[in-house]
Amino acid sequence: MSQAIAYCDYNATTPLRPAAMAAITRSLQDVGNPSSVHAPGRSAKGVMEAARETVARGVGARARDVIFTSSATEALHLALDAARDSYGDLIVSELEHDALWEATRDADEMAPLRATIDGVVDLTHLEELLAAAKRPLVAVMLANNETGVIQPVSRVAAMVREAGGILLVDASQAVGRIPVDIAALDASYLVVSSHKMGGPPGAGALVLASGAAFAISRRGGGQEQGRRPGTENVPALAGFAAAFDADGVSESVRIAALRDRFEQALRARHGDVVIFGETAPRLPNTSLFALPGAPAEIALIALDLEGVALSSGAACSSGKVKSSRVLAAMGVEPALARCALRASFGWATTDEDVDRLLAALDKVRARLGALEGAA
């Protein structure tokens, strides 16, 4: 980005792509509820249905199997409700985002699926859990928001199918960065988020495999074929579709080169840096690393003062840094996990942003080292 801030936090939310901004602006100028039968209503419906076609095409689904929601969180919860008559036990990977984890962790029928030190779901443990489960619903994300590690979802799907279960895949961080195809993944439910791919916040989708069960859980105005009532956010959906059309996957080579250069330089400057999940396949844009002795909560503030925006390994909610559940699941020592910082790049990241990040990290480390020396 060529603004004053070097923004390196695309996994939290991405800057809006110009094409998405243009589509939203156009749609905001129109009046019309997509459920209305008059011409403005039909026009809004046209925009929404074109968006549905685009999202469906982007993940290899049929348009009628795309249910628009306000967020990935809502889509995940809708999937749980939709599948409620189709499963007995629930197996949820410990790597899942809080959006799903917090919604399922206290359920009696839930068994957590462990992760390996590489940040990948433990397939041996999955085998054990599946052997003990009755009609399981298994939730494994496609790419982790903290480490960027891509999960072996097709292998998981084969195991789940063999056990007579169904699969829910949170692809929020993967869509627009790596190819995603619901049939190739063999998922029954796939979740997508607009603001992780250059679209606006306030839009997401639950995508169904053809024939996936859908128990109606919400009643209202009958929108989205009665599956998710509430007037659709047409401008946001227009922006969501424009972000899909921008084909972020084709930018991946450039972004991976930026990320790799960042990690090489980091290693050259700080020999003790630890990069999490680097032995596993990762998203091209994500680097979760720790500079031992530099706690994330202090580093983040110092980086912010340098005009560099990144995030701690863990989700920051209400401005507070929580320790990372994902790193704990990977068996990372708490003292090291406290130092985890996540840099995530995207469509507008420049070489200059990466240089500024590296320079700011040098400064922060030097300052923290000086403090330690003075103590």
Binding site for ligand PLP (CB under 6 A): 71-73, 97, 99, 141, 145, 170, 172-173, 193, 204
For 88, other C-beta atoms within 10 Å of its C-beta total 11
Q: Which H or E run includes 6?
A: strand 6-7
Shortest reach from residue 191's CB to ligand PLP, in Å: 7
Handedness of CA 346, 151, 337, 146 (dihedral sign): positive
Shortest reach from residue 279's CB to ligand PLP, in Å: 21
Shortest reach from residue 251's CB to ligand PLP, in Å: 19
What value does the CA radius of gyration of the chain take, rounded to a whole number of Å? 21
Question: Is 316 a catalytic site residue?
Answer: yes
Which of 316, 328, 359, 368 is catalytic? The answer is 316
**What tokens were used for 114?**
């462990």
Q: Is 309 or 364 the residue whose CB approaches ligand PLP more closely?
A: 309
Q: Is residue 119 helix, strand or coil?
A: coil
Q: Is residue 371 helix, strand or coil?
A: helix
Q: Is 16 or 141 the residue whose CB approaches ligand PLP more closely?
A: 141
Q: Is 133 or 240 the residue whose CB approaches ligand PLP more closely?
A: 240
Q: Is 73 or 285 the residue whose CB approaches ligand PLP more closely?
A: 73
Do residues 199 and 68 make contact, with C-beta atoms less than 8 angstroms apart?
Answer: no
Q: Is 48 or 141 the residue whose CB approaches ligand PLP more closely?
A: 141
**Residues 14, 19, 20, 24, Cα dihedral to 10°:** 150
CA distance 198 to 347: 8
For 226, other C-beta atoms within 10 Å of its C-beta total 13
Shortest reach from residue 68's CB to ligand PLP, in Å: 12
3-state helix, strand, coil in the chain (%, to 5): 40, 15, 40
CA distance 2 to 350: 8
Shortest reach from residue 2's CB to ligand PLP, in Å: 25
CA distance 52 to 28: 18
Task: Give the active site residues.
Answer: 316
